[in-house]
């Protein structure tokens, strides 16, 4: 880069002009002018000086003629500023004078011009300033000139260096970058990809470069966890420990402050608990609302809490401090009794300053938790009051778009604090309008200016919500994408004025043009954009009328629609042939005017609005955005219709990347930035869809690059995008390690795609859960077409950035499976079977059913936690439950065929056989399915006889807590006994955690205590109902158990034993409360539905199940694993099969989505583990040093019934969910580390199997390289 130059000029009246001139980040020159001590606006009158010529020239980006430009200074703080950017490297200097616009006088330098010289950049340093896509095009042309040889990577690099040299030489001769871009683009109009595929040419270097997507991370105040609920912060967790009967909660984050509000129902009274992590003297300044949240009323005296006073129309209440070992916070507790308040508004005074909600009051809706008003008949959340009002006012809204947008503004203002449901309601309404399911105009005339201004008010409100409520940005963008930008002043008026100019200039004042003119004057709409485009295509095609109708039809306009307007269009267009050029010119300009009002998502309109002057400056200047953005937008605008899609996609993405930081913080003209990004995203999507048609899926590098672009676009489009970013980083990693036909590479790549499929499926489910109920309720209220209602959310998803990724994954997955030798099935439980096909959506919905004939269940979804129904001989699904999940183990134990299908076409074909008989034959890695039933398999149905002999409950030993030395089979289950057996027998490098237990009979003893008499009676009543067949009472028993009171002896014994074993326990009341709750949860899990049904299926007496609780130090490890020393998939006893996850093992044994990493080790060669799947688990669980309470029943390892996994294990301290990033995970990327660790784990399994003399199921943890075994049991 050249050294910047600095100039200072002393002017009249004490003014000073400071100028800094430098080379910019992309090889262009930049001059920053600053006028100081100035009290009015001045204008820079300037021109460029080229080498060898002293005349003034206008910069080449505007024209090549001699002349000058005038640019006004803009007020900025105490100074006036102006920035000039020069895109022509031939410019050697700028000469200028200053003009005082208000007094019409000129200011010169000693009767001459001011002059500043442009720093010259040396040729060598210009290399990295030449755009990458320009170098790529030139390298491609050099390769063509050589005859398109099959180049090696080294030869490709030589072409690339030659391209750089050629471009440097042309720049030195005075050509501009724009001229070089135009020159190379004109030369090469063909798609590069097809020729590359035919010749083996790999993507050039810029196509392989990867962006640092970590910089794009966005996490907002209310991120969603795996279940779709709000993640719990440390403050929320802390307050919840002492708060009961919580109905709803709301969180606010302002700078470093967190504020949580819990609405509670205490004996019928409504109470608000407001807590914060602020320090020092703090008080709540608040008022109540009765009919609308916009109200601020003085609270009545009977609800004012202690430590309060009334001031200036509000109440001020001081916060109360509370602290414990876990942390401290301040709170205010307000009892609103049964006063029927709508909510409260408040601000907080703390440490000498007011804390508000980004410029607004904090607002809490106390009626939002009223299920009667917000839950529809199916139990799904909707904002019923708003939807009812929308339906009531639709008759008013259909009068004109002005009415509709004014009503939308009113409703949006009223519901903006109703959570996301209010904006979802507005979005659904606007989408029904945008898709023409609602009337736009009916018996009402309105000026375009009035529509434009109404739209401007609506989008200004959406802009404020976007800036002030980040967690609502996604739904706000969905709304903005459905409407135009609008505008004040003459923006809308130009629609009326310019149509008259077109008619006058081109002699078309009658017929269709006059009909259109009348419509425009009385009710302009987005349809006018389509009509204008149709007219342009008609004129450009030499007045072919079919071009007009084809354009209208492609955009949903028919003759019937045109004739239905209040001012109908009945005629076809007719123009004089000599008016062609004038019509094209005038209609093109008019199209821009129409789009400026009606087309928020139109790229050309958005770019023009963004870059056009506004009060003397453009959005780039006032927002301080990078010049690179302007370059990218200019190139995009110029090449938007090119057929070479990959460079265009890169340039679109570059523009979004440059724009991204500005969208995350409040700025002037933020609305223009939002509409620009929406338009860019829309154009990216349509370009991706076009490129999909020519992709060569047999060429992995091409597909990998293209998926990289799609993923990067998805990162930029997703709010709370942490997991997408981690997947994109991982995708970049596998892209860089590509090796042709490499099995391990294909397995790693497939794991990333599997995880992405889970994310996309989860996002779809979230959309259906949050949007579809509102679409159905409002659609039925407005009498919308049934099909449009049913596909509403589907259409929203298809229009999103994830749809193309789903298509790419589905088409690339078979390629990867072929490379990895996977086939289209993964066998989880190998067994031949014959039966009749029954299709279900979720396996869990039929787990209680009994089938009278052999049945093959084809299930769209299997979580891993279900029971397999009686009579089922096979379960086939596209879901990917862990091989060691509950349902997988049950299938293997019962010799039921269980397999995952990876091919959608195969699965669809299978579903088409519903009701018919099929036979399944399992191979090592595939299934062979044929029609009809094999006679050998027909009789194979699982018959359960009686339960295990001599199975009976256990009695209480008289102690509530026992040490490891006291473990016996009469006191504890096999988990505890096995831990005792292993301790002292395993080598010193295998660690066994310290353990104690609550023995059998303790639950029954506590329940019989007089303090729990009422609970015992309630449980007995509920058990009677269950024995009568009412399984809904199982949950009630679990809840009743949680109400039990502990005997003092149990508490004392537990505290003493934990201290003596030096487990991580504080010993205070809070620790005891959490421990006691964990013990009760383990006891209660005996009555979970899955466990109860398992007992019933195996004829096992549920009352005879006794539950001990194994208490261990929770090893907070780096990894958790499960070993099966006899390969459960193949049945090969010479192989050890292991699955491993990051963090705690609950994500492995529980129903957490995604696959664990798995490997097989031959017992004859423990140092050579073979990885068979790579991880796609989405989250890891991590805990601070704590204690875990494990279920340990007397039914753990009964023959014919495996109780392991049926009952719960509970951490004393809740684990934190962490979104996993595998891009730098050593298990995946470091082969030496992987082999070393996996060999050690396999050796652990081999050692323990030898100790027992039979195959073992072993759970363990790895912490800092050390293996800890937490339980072992015989493998079943």
Residues forming the active site:
886
Determine how many CB atoms are found less than 10 A away from the CB of residue 77.
7
- Residue 205 contacts residue 160 (beta carbons within 8 Å): yes
DSSP state of 80: E
Q: How many whole angstroms from its chain centre is CA 798?
A: 15
DSSP code of 785? -
- Which of 900, 683, 685 has its CA nearest to residue 813? 900
Nearest-5° angle of CA 917, CA 919, CA 923?
160
Rounded CA gap, 423 and 393, in Å? 17
Q: Are 45 and 98 in contact (CB under 8 A)?
A: yes
Sequence-distant (≥ 6) Cβ neighbours of residue 1020 within 8 angstroms: none
Strands 343-350 and 362-365: antiparallel
Ranges assigned E (strand) in 88-151: 91-100, 105-107, 114-117
Cα(1157)–Cα(1217) distance, rounded to whole angstroms?
Answer: 19
Terminal CA-CA length for the chain? 70
Contacts of 661 (CB under 8 A, 6+ apart): none
CA distances from 1242 to 592, 1116, 1162, 1257, 1275 (A): 69, 21, 9, 12, 15
- Other CB atoms within a 10 A radius of the CB of residue 773 amount to 23
Could you give phi then psi for residue 11, rounded to 5 degrees? -110, -175
The phi, psi pair for 22, rounded to 5°, reads -150, 160
Q: Give the contacts of 124 (CB within 8 A, at least 6 positions apart).
A: none
Residue 387 tokens read as: 């939807």
Q: What gap in Å lies between CA 1076 and CA 1070, rounded to an integer?
A: 10
Task: For residues 115 and 1000, give the distance between their C-alpha atoms in angstroms, rounded to a whole number.
Answer: 94
| SS3 at position 1095 | helix
**What's the rounded Cα separation, in Å, for the pair 1181 and 1142?**
8
Please enumerate in sequence order all residues whose Cβ is within 8 A of that of 1061, keeping only pairs 6 or more positions apart, or say none. Answer: 963, 994, 995, 996, 1113
CA-based nearest residue to 425, from 415, 440, 436: 415
Tell me if 846 sits within 8 A of 862, measured CB to CB. no
Residues 1210, 1081 contacting (CB under 8 angstroms): yes
CA–CA distance, 1139 with 880 (Å, rounded to integer) = 14
* Strand order from edge to edge, sheet including 1209-1211: 962-963, 995-998, 1107-1114, 1186-1193, 1209-1211
Cβ contact 224:235 at 8 Å: no
- Kindly give, in sequence order, each residue whose CB lies less than 8 Å from that of residue 647, ignoring residues fewer than 6 positions away: 133, 136, 137, 639
CA distance 1101 to 1094: 10
Q: In what order do the strands lie in the sheet with 897-901?
A: 825-829, 897-901, 870-877, 850-861, 833-842, 917-922, 927-931
């Amino acid at each position: 880069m050249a050294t910047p130059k600095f100039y200072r000029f002393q002017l009249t009246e004490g003014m000073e002009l400071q100028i800094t001139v430098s080379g910019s980040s992309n090889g262009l020159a930049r001059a920053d002018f600053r006028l100081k001590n100035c009290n009015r606006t001045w204008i820079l009158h300037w021109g460029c000086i080229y080498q060898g010529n002293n005349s003034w020239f206008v910069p080449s980006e505007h024209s090549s003629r001699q002349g000058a430009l005038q640019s006004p200074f803009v007020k900025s703080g105490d100074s006036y500023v102006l920035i000039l950017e020069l895109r022509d490297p031939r410019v050697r200097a700028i000469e200028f004078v200053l003009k005082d616009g208000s007094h019409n006088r000129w200011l010169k330098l000693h009767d001459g011009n001011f002059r500043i010289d442009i720093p010259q950049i040396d040729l060598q340093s210009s290399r990295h300033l030449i755009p990458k896509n320009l170098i790529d095009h030139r390298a491609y042309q050099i390769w063509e000139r050589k005859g398109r040889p099959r180049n090696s990577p080294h030869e490709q690099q030589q072409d690339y260096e030659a391209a750089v040299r050629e471009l440097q030489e042309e720049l030195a001769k005075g050509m501009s970058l724009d001229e070089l871009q135009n020159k190379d683009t004109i030369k090469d109009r063909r798609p590069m990809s097809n020729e590359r595929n035919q010749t083996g040419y790999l993507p050039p270097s810029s196509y392989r470069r990867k962006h640092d997507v970590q910089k794009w991370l966005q996490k907002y105040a209310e991120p969603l966890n795996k279940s779709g609920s709000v993640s719990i912060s440390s403050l929320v967790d802390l307050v919840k420990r002492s708060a009961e009967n919580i109905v709803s909660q709301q969180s606010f984050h302002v700078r470093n402050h967190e504020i949580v509000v819990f609405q509670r129902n205490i004996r019928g009274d409504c109470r608000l608990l407001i807590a914060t992590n602020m320090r020092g003297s703090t008080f709540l300044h608040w008022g109540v609302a009765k009919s609308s949240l916009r109200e601020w009323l003085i609270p009545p005296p009977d609800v004012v809490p202690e430590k309060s006073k009334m001031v200036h129309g509000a109440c001020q209440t001081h916060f109360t401090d509370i602290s414990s070992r876990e942390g401290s916070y301040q709170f205010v507790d307000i009892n609103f009794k049964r006063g029927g308040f709508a909510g409260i508004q408040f601000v907080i005074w703390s440490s000498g300053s007011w804390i508000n909600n980004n410029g607004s009051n904090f607002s809490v809706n106390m009626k939002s938790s009223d299920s009667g008003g917000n839950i529809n008949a199916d139990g799904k959340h909707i904002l019923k009051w708003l939807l009812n009002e929308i339906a009531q006012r639709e008759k008013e809204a259909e009068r004109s778009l002005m009415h509709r947008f004014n009503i939308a503004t009113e409703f949006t203002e009223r519901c903006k604090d109703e959570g996301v449901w209010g904006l979802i309601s507005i979005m659904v309404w606007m989408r029904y309008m945008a898709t023409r399911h609602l009337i736009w105009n009916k018996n009402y005339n309105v000026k375009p200016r009035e529509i434009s201004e109404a739209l401007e008010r609506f989008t200004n409100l959406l802009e404020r919500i976007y800036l002030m409520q980040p967690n609502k940005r996604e739904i706000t963008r969905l709304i903005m994408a459905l409407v135009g930008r609008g505008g004040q002043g003459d923006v809308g008026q130009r629609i009326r004025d310019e149509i008259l100019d077109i008619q006058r200039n081109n002699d078309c004042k009658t017929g269709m043009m006059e009909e259109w003119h009348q419509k425009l004057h009385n009710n302009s709409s987005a349809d006018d954009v389509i009509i204008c485009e149709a007219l342009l295509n008609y004129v450009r095609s030499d007045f072919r009328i079919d071009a007009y109708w084809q354009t209208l039809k492609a955009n949903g306009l028919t003759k019937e629609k045109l004739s239905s307007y209040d001012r109908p269009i009945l005629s076809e267009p007719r123009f004089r042939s000599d008016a062609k050029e004038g019509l094209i010119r005038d209609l093109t300009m008019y199209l821009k005017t129409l789009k400026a009002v009606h087309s928020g998502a139109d790229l050309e309109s958005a770019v023009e609005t963004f870059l056009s002057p506004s009060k003397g400056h453009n959005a780039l200047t006032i927002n301080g955005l990078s010049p690179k953005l302007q370059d990218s937008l200019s190139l995009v605008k110029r090449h938007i219709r090119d057929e070479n899609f990959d460079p265009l996609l890169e340039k679109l993405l570059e523009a979004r990347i440059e724009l991204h930081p500005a969208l995350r913080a409040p700025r002037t003209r933020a609305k223009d930035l939002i509409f620009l990004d929406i338009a860019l995203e829309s154009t990216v999507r349509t370009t991706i869809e076009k490129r999909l048609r020519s992709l060569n899926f047999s060429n992995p590098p091409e597909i990998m690059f293209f998926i990289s672009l799609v993923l990067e676009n998805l990162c930029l489009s997703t709010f709370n995008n942490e997991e997408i970013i981690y997947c994109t980083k991982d995708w970049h990693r596998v892209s860089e390690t590509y090796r042709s036909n490499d099995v391990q590479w294909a397995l790693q790549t497939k794991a990333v795609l599997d995880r992405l499929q889970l994310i996309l499926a989860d996002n779809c489910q979230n959309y259906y859960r949050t949007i579809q109920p509102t679409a159905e309720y409002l659609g039925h209220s407005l009498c919308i077409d049934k099909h449009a209602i049913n596909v509403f959310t589907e259409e929203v998803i298809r229009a999103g950035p994830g749809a193309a990724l789903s298509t790419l994954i589905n088409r690339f997955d078979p390629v990867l499976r072929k490379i990895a030798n996977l086939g289209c099935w993964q066998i989880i439980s190998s067994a031949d079977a014959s039966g009749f096909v029954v299709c279900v959506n979720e396996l869990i919905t039929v787990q209680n059913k009994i089938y009278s004939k052999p049945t093959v269940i084809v299930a769209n979804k299997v979580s891993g936690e279900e029971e397999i129904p009686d009579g089922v001989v096979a379960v086939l699904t596209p879901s990917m439950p862990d091989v060691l999940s509950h349902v997988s183990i049950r299938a293997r134990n019962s010799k039921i065929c269980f397999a995952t299908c990876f091919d959608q076409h195969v699965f669809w074909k299978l579903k088409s056989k519903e009701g018919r008989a099929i036979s399944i034959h399992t191979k090592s890695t595939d299934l062979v399915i044929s029609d009809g039933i094999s006679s050998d398999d027909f009789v194979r149905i699982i018959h359960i006889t009686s339960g295990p002999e001599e199975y009976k409950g256990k009695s209480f030993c008289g102690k509530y807590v026992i040490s490891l030395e006291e473990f016996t089979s009469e006191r504890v289950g096999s988990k505890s006994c096995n831990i005792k057996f292993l301790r002292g027998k395993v080598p010193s490098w295998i660690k066994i955690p310290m353990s104690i237990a609550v023995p059998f009979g303790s639950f029954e003893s506590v329940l019989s205590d007089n303090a729990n008499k009422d609970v015992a009676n309630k449980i007995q009543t509920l058990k009677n109902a269950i024995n009568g067949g009412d399984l809904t009472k199982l949950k009630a028993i679990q809840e009743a158990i949680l109400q039990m009171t502990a005997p003092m002896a149990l508490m004392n014994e537990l505290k003493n034993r934990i201290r003596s074993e030096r487990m991580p326990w504080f010993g205070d009341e809070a620790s005891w409360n959490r421990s006691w709750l964990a013990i009760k949860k383990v006891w209660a899990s005996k009555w979970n539905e899955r466990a109860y049904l398992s007992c019933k299926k195996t004829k096992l007496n549920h009352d005879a199940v006794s539950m001990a609780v194994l208490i261990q130090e929770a090893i907070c490890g780096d990894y958790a694993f499960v070993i099966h020393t006899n390969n459960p998939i193949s049945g090969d006893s010479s192989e050890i099969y292991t699955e491993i996850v990051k963090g705690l093992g609950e994500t492995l044994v529980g129903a957490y989505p995604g696959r664990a990493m798995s490997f097989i080790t031959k017992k004859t060669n423990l140092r050579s583990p073979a990885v068979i799947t790579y991880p796609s688990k989405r989250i890891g669980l991590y805990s601070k040093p704590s204690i875990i309470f494990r279920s340990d029943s007397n039914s753990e390892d009964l023959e014919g019934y495996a109780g392991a996994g049926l009952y719960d294990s509970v951490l004393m301290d809740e684990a934190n969910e962490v979104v996993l990033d595998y891009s730098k995970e050593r298990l995946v990327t470091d082969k030496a580390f992987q082999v070393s660790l996996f060999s050690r784990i396999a050796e652990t399994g081999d050692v323990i199997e030898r100790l027992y003399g039979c195959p073992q199921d072993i759970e363990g943890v790895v912490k800092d390289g050390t293996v800890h075994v937490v339980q072992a049991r015989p493998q079943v």
